[in-house]
Amino acid sequence: MSIQNLNTFDPFADAIKSSEDDVQDGLVHVRIQQRNGRKTLTTVQGLSSEYDLKKIVRACKKEFACNGTVVEHPEYGEVLQLQGDQRENICQWLTKSGLVKPEQLKVHGF
Amino acid sequence: MDDDMIFDPSLKKKKKKKTGFDMDAALASEQGESTSVEAPVESGDVDVPEDENLDLDNFGKKKKKKKKTFFNLEELESALPETTEEKPPAEEPEPQEEDLVDDLDLEIDFSKTKKKRRKKNLDELVAEEENNENQENAEDLHGDWVSTDRDYTYDELLERVFDIMREKNPGMVSGKKQKFIMRPPQVVRIGTKKTSFANFTEICKTLHRQPKHLLDFLLAELGTSGSVDGNSQLIIKGRFQQKQIENVLRRYIKEYVTCHTCRSPDTILQKDTRLFFLQCETCGSRCSVASIKSGFQAVTGKRAAIRAKIA
């Protein structure tokens, strides 16, 4: 049995972990951006880096019949991009697959 | 502002009507509510078709009050079958529907439907009379079981408690939500790619918020760029409809204008050590609000242009 008091404690462990995760307050932001004409782009920011985003995007592409990609961003980590207004779809899908809790989702845009 | 002068006469009329309502409302004991937010709305007059909606607001309030008494009456009647009261039956189903509607909308009145407006004048008079009647009746009914030694029902007691509460602090109790009235945003397309938000500064004034703050929020939410031009209108890049802007405004109001505790719109937004705090003037609560972040922005323009800019 080890002595509790002698264990080393890294005070910055939390900070490092959260900076790696890049999930500020655990929210997943779903945004929409307008492109040319009536085309739009949906971005999903803040998904935990524990998940394999490539696999997620592959599943989404198939499910919503749209193209999509994973973009690496220095500040926000990996961000999902999907073509078209997939906000409803992605919210439903994420909650249904259990990746994100409904209260963690934050949908932006009009 | 110049345009406004032209359209003044028609508006004058409306305003008069409006004050009429206010008097009624005051009679029904709730002066505190309808003052602060409405004042700015009335002061600026720009004419739009949607403006018609504006005089509905007080109407909405009135409706609610009437509804209240109605429900109680109904309850009472079911409790005391011996009461003999005549009530216009046609009015009955209506308030309930409205209850649903009112609960749904975020107590922010951008636009009420036209149909309500049509009903207004008639209903208003009826409502006023009924209000009085009902109140009297309600008192009578209380007397009924107070004097006798028969068992009172839950509904009666509930009614009694609410009556006392309403009497003691008018306007606050009764679950009646305070309406936050503002005029709808005027959104016009400029060409094919840009959208103008004409009464942007006016709305900022109504909300008592810095235009910059609202601007930041709008642009971050819509994920575009834009600026305020010389005529104090906001030009946003991209196509947006009035409804969409309304939605975003609703969200802004919910987060940055109405108090999170008491939901009163009488608040001050102040910056304190890099954080925004919302200070409520009504209940005195103070809480921090989320900072505005635009977050990740995908590349939507021409990449060549971006590269040229950097180089």
Q: Which of residues 39-68 of A touch B (CB under 8 A)?
A: 41, 43, 45
A83 pLDDT exceeds 90?
A: yes
- Determine contact, residues B253/B215, Cβ cutoff 8 Å: no
Band of residue B260 on the pLDDT scale cut at 50, 70, 90: confident
3 state DSSP class of A78: strand
| Residue B50 pLDDT | 41
| Residue B127 pLDDT | 54
Structure tokens at B47: 């004419």
Q: Which residues of B touch A33 (CB under 8 A)?
A: 223-224, 297-298, 300
pLDDT digits (tens, 9 = 90+) for B149-177: 777 888 888 888 888 877 776 655 445 55
Residue of A nearest to B238 (CA): A34
CB contact under 8 A, A34 and B238: yes
B20 domain residue, yes or no: no
B203 domain residue, yes or no: yes
| Residue B168 pLDDT | 72
Q: Which of residues 20-39 of A touch B (CB under 8 A)?
A: 29, 31-36, 38
Measured over the CA atoms of residue A69, residue A72, residue A73 and residue A75, the dihedral's sign is: positive
B283 domain residue, yes or no: yes
Rounded to a whole number of angstroms, the distance from the CA of A108 to the nearest CA of chain B is 6
Q: Which of B52-66, B191-205, B287-301 has the highest mean pLDDT?
A: B191-205
Q: Among B55, B69, B45, B54, which Cα is nearest to B21's?
A: B55
Q: What is the domain count for chain B?
A: 1
Does A110 lie at the interface with B, CB-CB under 8 angstroms?
yes
CB contact under 8 A, B295 and A108: yes
B248 domain residue, yes or no: yes
- Averaged pLDDT of chain A: 82
CATH of residue B212's domain is 3.30.30.170
Q: Among B213, B215, B216, B219, which Cα is nearest to B269's?
A: B213
Band of residue A60 on the pLDDT scale cut at 50, 70, 90: very high
- Determine contact, residues B232/B198, Cβ cutoff 8 Å: no
CB contact under 8 A, B300 and A73: no
Q: Among B269, B246, B247, which Cα is nearest to B259's?
A: B269
Q: How is domain A29-107 classified at the CATH fold level?
A: Translation Initiation Factor Eif1 (3.30.780)
Percentage of chain B modeled with pLDDT above 90: 4
Type of residue numbered A46:
G
B193 domain residue, yes or no: yes
Band of residue B141 on the pLDDT scale cut at 50, 70, 90: low
Kindly give, in sequence order, each residue whose CB lies less than 8 Å from that of residue B70, ignoring residues fewer than 6 positions away: B91, B92, B95, B134
3 state DSSP class of B230: coil
In whole angstroms, give the CA distance from residue B191 to residue B62: 42
Residue B245 dihedral angles phi and psi, to the nearest 5°: -65, -40
A16 pLDDT exceeds 60?
A: no
- Determine contact, residues B240/B187, Cβ cutoff 8 Å: yes
Mean pLDDT for the stretch of residues B82-95: 45
Residues in chain B whose Cβ is within 8 Å of chain A: 220-224, 238-241, 243-245, 247-248, 295-298, 300
Q: Among A21, A94, A31, which Cα is nearest to A57's?
A: A94
Q: Which residues of A touch B248 (CB under 8 A)?
A: 109-110
Give the nearest partner residue to B296 out of A34, A79, A109, using CB atoms. Answer: A79
Structure tokens at A10: 């890294």
- Determine contact, residues B173/B165, Cβ cutoff 8 Å: yes
A98 pLDDT exceeds 80?
A: yes
What is the residue extent of each domain of chain A? 29-107
Kindly give, in sequence order, each residue whose CB lies less than 8 Å from that of residue B219, ignoring residues fewer than 6 positions away: B225, B226, B236, B294
B295 pLDDT exceeds 70?
A: yes
| Residue B89 pLDDT | 47
Q: Which residues of A touch B221 (CB under 8 A)?
A: 108-110
Task: Determine which of A44-53, B76-85, B216-225 has the lowest per-residue pLDDT on average.
Answer: B76-85
CB contact under 8 A, B222 and A110: yes
Residue with tokens 């947006």: B240
pLDDT digits (tens, 9 = 90+) for B200-214: 888 888 888 888 899
Q: Which residues of A touch B238 (CB under 8 A)?
A: 34
Which runs of consecutive H residues, i.e. helices, occur in chain B? 2-6, 8-27, 38-43, 56-79, 93-104, 114-147, 154-168, 200-207, 211-222, 242-252, 303-310
Q: Which residues of A touch B297 (CB under 8 A)?
A: 33
Residue A3 dihedral angles phi and psi, to the nearest 5°: -85, 125
By residue range, what is the domain housing residue B266?
Answer: 187-289
Structure tokens at B123: 């209903």
pTM, full prediction: 0.56
DSSP structure string for B108-133:
EES---HHHHHHHHHHHHHHHHHHHH
Rounded to a whole number of angstroms, the distance from the CA of B241 to the nearest CA of chain A is 9
pLDDT digits (tens, 9 = 90+) for B14-44: 444 444 344 444 444 444 443 343 434 444 3
In whole angstroms, give the CA distance from residue A25 to residue A109: 20
Give the nearest partner residue to A110 out of B247, B297, B300, using CB atoms. Answer: B247
Q: Which of A16-20, B11-15, B60-64, B174-178 has the highest mean pLDDT?
A: B174-178
| Residue A69 pLDDT | 92
B118 domain residue, yes or no: no
B90 pLDDT exceeds 50?
A: no
In whole angstroms, give the CA distance from residue A38 to residue B239: 8
